[in-house]
Amino acid sequence: ELARLLHTAPRAVGGACGANAIALVVPCHRVVASMGALGGFMGVTTGDPITVKRWLLTHEGYRFGA
């Protein structure tokens, strides 16, 4: 949806978020993949950053699969 609003490709949005050096200040964790999938965070799709992303989204009230 963000890519559509910006008239750009979803990969461009993902690339910008992946390059974000201040991920907790600029809330890239709120960008999720299509169909509500978790997607990547801090330039990766597995590991500790994804655990942090899931925790942040849960803490903010995001409902997975909704």
- Residue 66 has what pLDDT? 57
The per-residue pLDDT for range 4-63, each reduced to its tens digit, is 999 999 999 988 988 888 877 888 899 888 877 888 888 899 999 999 999 999 999 998
Give the pLDDT score at 35: 79
Q: What is the pLDDT of residue 52?
A: 93
17 belongs to the catalytic site: no
**Amino acid 46: pLDDT:** 94
Q: Does residue 57 contact residue 31 with C-beta atoms inside 8 Å?
A: no
Options 13, 28, 31, 42, the catalytic residue: 28
